[in-house]
Amino acid sequence: MKRGLIALLMLALALIAWFGGRQQALRLPHPWDNQAYVWQRVWTPQHAAVLAQSRDLFPALRVLGLQVHPREGWREIPVNLPLLKQDGRPLWLVARLDGQLAQLDEPAIRQRLLKLVQQWQAAGLQVVGVEIDHDAATARLPDYQHFLQQLRQQLPHSLQLGITALPAWIGSAALPGVLQQVDSSVLQVHAVLSPQQGLFSGPLALRWVKQYAKITPKPFRVALPAYGMGLVGFDAQGAQVESEASLRVAGTSRELTVAPQQVADFLHQLNTQATPHLRGIIWFRLPLADDRRAWSLATLRAVIENQPLSVNWQVKFSPQPQQNGLNDLIIHNNGPVDAPLPHEIVITASECLAADAAGNYRLESEPQRQRFVLISGDQLRAGQSRPLGWLRCQQLTPGGTLVTP
């Protein structure tokens, strides 16, 4: 009898421990890792600082080393190999093969890739894999499969082979054959929509991840945006993409941005579902201090570590002496993270003689109030300011400034 009671007690304790452990496991985030693309074509001293500051965030890096473009031709990126050796993290060498290429010069690509791998390894870098970033048209996936098959045969067995995959491929019968040639893949869910749809859509990204996880038998990661981009020189053929460097192209322009909260909401939703084969997130791109379109490292860290992403806008009035009520207006990001410029700012004032907007805003003047309406979106880093406009009013209403994000 006593032995039976003891056995029942042990069974009950085991069930409690199992249930408690299961509940704890459900509360814990998925053990994903975070990596970052180092995508700058020009390396500067700023790389040393951001690599040191991001070491705890990214256990591995994906570094752009080779680019092939139909107009620009071949371009080997002058990567700072001594700096990466000093950094010491595992690296993926990324080759960007533009989707507009009429065909892939397979022998030349393989030769250059193998040469680069050897150079990086000879410089003491810990190269663990090669990633091919090629926006192949869906109809050309069988050709892409052949290219990857040949590349896999020539790469050293110690190196992994990966690809960047596009949502447009998900419905293709050729995709499983492509994925069989590689060790892993990266599903890119940003910059795959029309400009009218924006740079990133959380609901669409979730749907693509679910669909992709059912197709791939191999480990994969999701590439997420930590940047904005400009569309410049609109014409009948569309627009050119301007990233970290200015293209100096005449014509109209438009900024596409992604709010940190938008990506954080996506990660929260992704974390609540079971996703087979998902191994982590790769952030595009590693931010430099002067990369104005990239999130700051502090903002990227806040999103990764699930910190509060509170936004605090402040409109600063700068009175001009002896100018009869003239104030210059500045919009200041007083919060801890980067944020898209607010959509509207309303200033209540009376006896206004004149006013005007500047930069990203237009003015809609009404009796007793001045409305500054956003006409060109952009991201403003934490602690930075942007001109809003000016007004000449005899009476500013205390507390009469309303900012609508």
Positive or negative: CA dihedral 111, 113, 114, 115: positive
Let me know if 92 is exposed, middle or buried by CB neighbors in 10 A (0-12, 13-18, 19+): buried
Return d(Cα 321, Cα 304) in angstroms, integer.
Answer: 46
User: Which residues lie across from 322 on neighbouring strands?
Assistant: none
CA 306 to centroid of chain Cα atoms: 16
What is the structure's pLDDT at 16?
Answer: 47
Contact present, 290 and 42 (Cβ < 8 Å) = no
User: What are the counts of helices (DSSP H) followed by strands (DSSP E) for the chain?
Assistant: 9, 20
> In the chain, where are the structural domains located?
29-304, 313-404
What is the structure's pLDDT at 197?
Answer: 87
Model confidence over 92-106: pLDDT tens digits? 999 999 999 999 999
Buried b (16+ CB within 10 A) or exposed e, 122-159: eeebebebbbbbbbbeeeebeebbebbeebbeebeeeb
Tens-level pLDDT at each residue, the chain (405 residues): 555 555 555 555 544 444 444 443 333 346 799 999 999 999 999 999 999 999 999 999 999 999 999 999 999 999 999 999 999 999 999 999 999 999 999 999 999 999 999 999 999 999 999 999 999 999 999 999 999 999 999 999 999 999 999 999 999 999 999 999 999 999 999 999 988 889 999 999 999 999 999 999 999 999 999 999 877 655 545 555 555 554 444 455 678 989 999 999 999 999 999 999 999 999 999 999 999 899 999 999 999 999 999 999 999 999 998 888 999 999 999 999 999 999 999 999 999 999 999 999 999 999 999 999 999 989 999 999 999 999 999 999 999 999 999
Let me know if 105 is exposed, middle or buried by CB neighbors in 10 A (0-12, 13-18, 19+): middle
How far is residue 97 from each of residues 72, 179, 222, 239, measured CA to CA in Å?
12, 17, 19, 20
- What distance, in Å, lies between the first and last C-alpha atoms of the chain? 70
Strands 184-188 and 220-225: parallel
What is the structure's pLDDT at 5?
Answer: 52
Q: Tell me whether the CATH fold assigned to 29-304 matches the one assigned to 313-404.
A: no
Q: Locate tokens 């104030």: which residue?
A: 327
Among residues 189, 246, 256, 227, the alpha carbon closest in space to that of 338 is found at 227
Contact present, 60 and 35 (Cβ < 8 Å) = yes
Among residues 275, 188, 179, 186, the alpha carbon closest in space to that of 218 is found at 179
Model confidence over 145-195: pLDDT tens digits? 999 999 999 999 999 999 999 999 999 999 999 999 999 999 999 999 988
Could you give the count of Cα atoms lying within 13 Å of 64 in the half-sphere of its Cβ?
A: 20
What is the structure's pLDDT at 231?
Answer: 73
What is the structure's pLDDT at 11?
Answer: 54
Residue 100 dihedral angles phi and psi, to the nearest 5°: -85, -5
DSSP letter assigned to residue 273: S
Q: Locate tokens 């591995």: which residue?
A: 60
CATH number of 313-404: 2.60.40
Task: Give percent helix, percent strand, percent coil of the chain, each to the nearest 5.
Answer: 30, 35, 35
Return d(Cα 166, Cα 186) in angstroms, integer.
Answer: 9
In CATH, which of 1.10.1740.10, 3.40.50.800, 2.60.40.10, 3.20.20.80 is domain 29-304?
A: 3.20.20.80
DSSP letter assigned to residue 55: T
What is the structure's pLDDT at 20?
Answer: 45
Tally the residues of the chain.
Answer: 405
Q: What is the pTM of this model?
A: 0.85
Torsion of CA 107, 109, 111, 112, to 10 degrees: 160
Return d(Cα 13, Cα 66) in angstroms, integer.
Answer: 58
